């Protein structure tokens, strides 16, 4: 994974994922990504699946009108959201909460990477902020 930041859309994998979602016409890609993280259950959650789950959660939060940081890297997904005529339903929001929570639950490669860094507390704060923005 390249270019790391504590936010859900502050790494290359997550931004590439968000761009792919923005090329779509509906929320089905988000749901598939969230399902992947949730279905990992107690199995090992790979770093790319974790990064995409956080990005999907951030996109759902943005769809709810509760965005995180607005940056040039988020412009494409923010433009897509502003033109989308579809809001996330309660089941998708619930899946987003479950998937983001799963990323913060062992065994999670993304969490392990952050634990081994000097910035785990900042990253954890960012994930907790995302969870707060997803919940009513």
pLDDT band at 1 (very low <50, low <70, confident <90, very high): very low
Q: At residue 131, does pLDDT exceed 80?
A: yes
pLDDT band at 12 (very low <50, low <70, confident <90, very high): confident
More confident residue, 12 or 55: 55
Mean pLDDT, rounded, for 43-55: 96
Mean pLDDT, rounded, for 13-42: 94
**pLDDT score at 73:** 83
Give the separation between CA 77 and CA 52, rounded to whole angstroms.
Answer: 14
> Percent of the chain beyond pLDDT 90?
79
**pLDDT score at 86:** 83
SS3 108: strand
Q: Is 41 left (phi over 0), alpha (psi -120 to 50) or beta?
A: left
Whether cis (ω within 30° of 0) applies to the bond prior to 49 is no
Q: At residue 120, does pLDDT exceed 80?
A: yes
Give the separation between CA 66 and CA 41, rounded to whole angstroms.
Answer: 27
pTM of the model: 0.94
Q: At residue 124, does pLDDT exceed 50?
A: yes
């Amino acid at each position: 994974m390249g270019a790391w930041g504590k936010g859900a859309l502050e790494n290359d994998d997550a931004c590439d994922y968000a761009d792919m979602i923005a090329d779509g016409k509906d929320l089905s890609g988000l749901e598939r990504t969230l399902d992947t993280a949730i279905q990992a259950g107690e199995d090992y959650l790979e770093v790319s699946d974790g990064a995409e789950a956080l990005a999907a959660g951030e996109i759902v939060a943005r769809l709810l009108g509760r965005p995180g940081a607005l940056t040039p890297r988020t412009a494409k997904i923010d433009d897509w959201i502003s033109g989308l005529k579809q809001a996330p339903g309660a089941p998708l929001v619930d899946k987003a909460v479950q998937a983001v929570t799963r990323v913060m639950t062992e065994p999670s490669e993304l969490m392990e990477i952050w634990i081994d860094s000097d910035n785990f507390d900042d990253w954890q704060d960012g994930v907790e902020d995302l969870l707060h923005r997803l919940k009513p």
